[in-house]
Each structure stands twice: as C-alpha cells, then as structure tokens.
Chain A
Amino acid sequence: MVDLSEYLPILLFLGVALVLSSLFVFGPMALNHVTGAYKPNADKLAEYECGFPAFEDARAQFDVRFYLVAILFIIFDLEAAFLYPWAVSLDKIGWTGWFAMMGFLVELVIGFAYAWKKGALEWE
C-alpha cells in the first residue's frame, strides 16, 4: 500500500493554487451576478457622508491631488506612530535605538524635502 500522506504538500499546493486562481476568475463574475439583481433608488445610491459619487460617468473628473495629500498624510502619520513606542522604551533600547530612530527621521526628512521641492504640498 502506497503511503499517500507523503504527497500531502503537493496536494495542498495544488489546492491553494486552484482555489486562489478560480477565486480571481469566478469571484468577480459571481459578484457581478449577485449585485446585478439590485433595485437601486436615488437615496441608496447616494454616497455616504463625504467622498466622491461612486457611480458616475467614468469620464467625470476628480482631483488627483486628494490622493497625494492622503498619501503624504499616511507617511507622516506613520512616523508619529513609530515615535510613541520608541519614546517610551528609550531607556531600554539606549543609544542604539536613538541612532536607529535618527536615521529613520533623516531619511523621512529627505523624502519630505523632495516632496516639498516637487510641489506636492502646494494645492495650486
């Protein structure tokens, strides 16, 4: 009797490959099918609070500058997120930690200077 359990990894690999690839082919199709049956009305379709109208003529213009601002916000927001745990544990990580964070901040400032110079922060 052949011990089939030895071939489990290949079975799992094929299974994962099959599931993932069919998910990306059939998932959107199924989604289409499901969402195709909806009964829309003006209130349902209205965008929630702020934000862009979700279903419009594809050629409608929206300002790409919003995204730039959002990306810059995320970058500098993350910096603050890193700074808090660093600050409260500075007595344990010592000079090594201090220099590591300074290196990080210098890199960030260079990126900031580049973005500024390129005009990413100017609205007009």
Chain B
Amino acid sequence: MSYAESLSLTLSEVILAAGALVLLLVAGWAGDKATRLISWIAVVLLAVAGLALLGPAGAAFGGQYQADSFAAFAKVLIYFAAGASILIAPRFFQLADGSHMGLRAEYPILILLACVGMGMMVSAGDLLSLYVGLELNSLAAYVLASFMRSDQRSAEAGLKYFVLGALASGILLYGISLVYGFTGTTAFDGIAKAYGDGVSMGELFGLVFVFAGLAFKVSAVPFHMWTPDVYEGAPTPVTTFFASAPKVAALCMAIRVAVVAMGPAAHQWQQIVIFAALASTILGGVAAINQTNIKRLLAYSSINNVGFALIGLAAGTQQGIAAVLTYLAVYVVMTIGSFVCVLQMRDAEGRPIEAISALAGLSRSRPGLSAAFAIFMFSLAGIPPLFGFWPKFLVFDAAVAVGLLPLAAVGIATSVIGAFYYIKIVKIIYFDEPGEEVFAANNNVVETGLMLLTALAVSPIGYLAIPVLGQLSDRAAGSLF
C-alpha cells in the first residue's frame, strides 16, 4: 500500500490536524477576537471529519493504523462530544473568568488536537501508534485542565493531571516495553500470535502493566484517584470534555488492546477487568454519597459508569463489546446533558456555583432546568423508563451470557447504591425549601438546544434508536473479531 493510500485512510485525522494548524495561525495573528470564528470552524471541521469516516476501511501504514467500523463508531462519539464541549465554552469563560476576557482562541484548537490524538488511540493497531495518540490527547488535555490560568483550582487540576497522567504513561510504557521484550513485536497481530503460544511470566507482567496504565486512563479503580480533583478543578466545559470524549477513546483503546492484541490471553486479563469493574462500580457508588460539590459527584458517577462498561468488556464476547459501545453512546449523551445542566448553575453575576445544596427548591424557579436535571439523574441511575436503563441491561445480559452471574449480580446491587445519590439530587431539586440562591436565567440558544436534544435522547423516546444503535454497535464490535 502506498503512502498516499495510507494517508487517504486516515482522512479524518488529516482534516483535523491540518485544520487545527491553520486555525493556530489564525489564532496567532487575529488573537482572541477571532475565538468565535475559530470555534465555529472547529465544529465544522469535526463534522467534516465525521463525514470522512464514511470512507473505505482498511489497515494503513503497515497495520499501525486501523480504519474500521469500530474506530468509526468511537470517533463519531468523540467528535460529537468535542463539538459540544466547544459550543458550550464561550459563555462559561465570558462569565466565569473575573477578567471578562472571554474564551481564548486556543481552546477549540486544543480540543481539535486532542481529537486527532483520540482518533489515533481508537484506530491504533500497534502499541507505539497507540502511545503517540495517547500522548497527543493527554498533552492537549493537561493544558485544557488549567485553561483558567488565574484560577487556583484550575491550575491545581492541570498540575495534578499532568503529574499523575505522566505516571500512568510511564506505567503503560513499561508494560509496552515488557510486551515488546517478550513477544518481539509491538504490532497487535504479532502480539496476539505470541500470546496464542502460551503466556509466559514476562508476557504476563507486560499485560498487567499495560492494563494498569489503561485503567489509569479510563479512571477505573484502583487507579481513579486523579478523577474527582481534576473534574472539580477544571473549568466546567473542559470537565464535560474530559468526562465524555477521552473516556470513550480510552475505553475503546483498551477494548482493542484486550480483544485484538491480547485476545488469546483473555483468561488472564478477564480477572483484572472483572476486579476493576467491581471496584469501580462499588467505589463510584459509595464514595459519591457524601459529596457536596456537583462536579465531584459527577466524577464519581463517571467512575461508576466506567465500571459498568468494563463489565461488558469482562464478558469478552462480541455481544459484550457491542454492549459497551451502546453503553458509551448513551453515556456520552447523558454526560453532556448533565454537565450542560451544571453549567446553568450560575449566580446573578454569572459566576459558577457548584454546591449541590444550591439546587434546593430549583423546581419552583426553573421548572424546565429541573426536569432536565431529573431526567439525566434518573437516566444515569438506570431507572427503566429512561434510556440509561437499556445499556446497563445490555452489559449485564452479556455478562450473564458467558456465565459471569455473580459479577452481574454485584453490578446490579451497586447500581442500586448509585441510585441513592442520583435520586437525592432530584429530591433536593423538587422537595427541599428553596434557599436565597437564585440562578441567572439562561438565554443561550446553543445551551438550551443541547440540553433539550440530549434530554430527549435519553428520555423514553430514545428507545426508538435501539434498532439503529444496536445494529451499528454490533457491526463495530464485529470488526474486531
């Protein structure tokens, strides 16, 4: 395959990378005045890159890059989440930053560059292209976390994310070097062949370190400790981005590594994934109960959700992977919706409020926002008439199908624990006496539209999408087996 053919398979990454570079020059010369223009161009670029995914499938650059329907499915979710994170940003930064400088022009560009990295992550067919993609995403993410430079918490979040993220990359690289040392290759098919001949002790250590690094990136327990701090400190639009796009990318990357590269060692990684899944669902459910900050609570909620998604991966079958993909699609929509709701928590001057207690009695002053909040909370809890129930059902179904009955049982039990704190928020909104805090009215069309769209998607209307979503995720999962 020629170089040009390889490049054409990576068309969506080429579009995003070239677009980001041109926009960087625009940002350099036009400055922050052009932020609005750059943001919209960035969203258009994401849409175009999404259309480019319809192109042919195949392996590019000697198998280092895989363009298949699995990668395409993940990238659609990533681009959607990235686009939403760009659209909700300007108003937040305009009001939250004391200096009223507004959003800097580099924000959408960093998100585009992170998307290039995430596209590489989900398409990687080699441990080294995987690592390059991961770093490209991470480096942009570190800057994004500390994007409000004058805000102490934001700077702290960036530093924490950087130090712990670098540690995770180190662990992952150590695992990669062990795998390379004992199998003699970094290509996924070669690794699969070596693991198929029996798993030696060295290969086992490599597998463990690679999975520890991956668990860090998806923030699965016991490598979750950075998540609440980073989610709390980062500006809310950035937190929206962190909770959606990189989660999808890291989980899909982990799936490809587990299924394609280390598929023959499924018996070994299954134990790790089961442990991480159980620990994440339990800790994510229990630790969220006492949180008073809504962003921290949603951070624990995302840990909890990653646990459920890992249950599908633990099954290791095509059905399980398809369930994870459906789970991720619904999770992204729910997450973006709930964070747009959190964005509405602003006082009269527009400063963000993050205390859960400020939501007391919200239903009387803002019935629409309260209804949206309630829909997302019930959906995150997985309560049946809402769409959040369906993917949970699918992952449990997949786990039961391969005989992981105890895992599914514990998962269901922890989702009941999780339901407690989700419903507590609904109770605070609807039944508590209102405090003196009054939220500023929302007159932003984009945010209202996004909230409406996501709320409709996770409402019972979402069930209409099951045939399409099911078929797409089945096909995506099928391309790995």
What's the tally of chain A residues with a CB closer than 8 Å to chain B? 23
Cβ contact within 8 Å between A10 and B171: no
Contacts of A95 in B (CB 8 A): 3
Cβ contact within 8 Å between A13 and B3: no
Checking A6, A13, A118 against B28 with a beta-carbon cut-off of 8 angstroms, the contacting residue is A118
A39 at the interface (CB under 8 A from B): no
State in angstroms the CA–CA spacing of A21 and B221 once bound together. 12
Contacts A110-B21, A110-B25 given; does A12 touch B204 at CB 8 Å: yes
Cβ contact within 8 Å between A17 and B212: yes
B275 at the interface (CB under 8 A from A): yes
A111's closest neighbor in chain B, by CB?
B24
Cβ contact within 8 Å between A117 and B28: yes
B72 at the interface (CB under 8 A from A): no
Cβ contact within 8 Å between A9 and B29: no
State in angstroms the CA–CA spacing of A13 and B208 once bound together. 6
A89 at the interface (CB under 8 A from B): no
Q: What's the A-B contact tally at a CB cutoff of 8 Å?
A: 52
B142 at the interface (CB under 8 A from A): no
Main SS of chain B's interface residues? helix
State in angstroms the CA–CA spacing of A12 and B27 once bound together. 48
Contacts A17-B222, A20-B171, A99-B3 given; does A9 touch B25 at CB 8 Å: no
Cβ contact within 8 Å between A13 and B21: no
State in angstroms the CA–CA spacing of A45 and B218 once bound together. 43
Which of B171, B211, B268, B269 lies at the interface centre, i.e. has the most chain A CB atoms within 10 A of its CB? B268
Cβ contact within 8 Å between B271 and A10: yes
State in angstroms the CA–CA spacing of A7 and B207 once bound together. 14
Cβ contact within 8 Å between A13 and B272: yes
Question: Nearest Cβ in chain A — how far from B467, in angstroms?
Answer: 38
Cβ contact within 8 Å between B27 and A114: yes
Cβ contact within 8 Å between A9 and B207: yes
A79 at the interface (CB under 8 A from B): no
Contacts of A12 in B (CB 8 A): 204-205, 208
B73 at the interface (CB under 8 A from A): no
Contacts of B222 in A (CB 8 A): 17, 21
Question: Nearest Cβ in chain B — how far from A45, in angstroms?
Answer: 26
B208's closest neighbor in chain A, by CB?
A12
A21's closest neighbor in chain B, by CB?
B222
Smallest CB-CB A-B distances: 5 pairs:
A117-B28, A10-B271, A9-B268, A114-B28, A96-B3
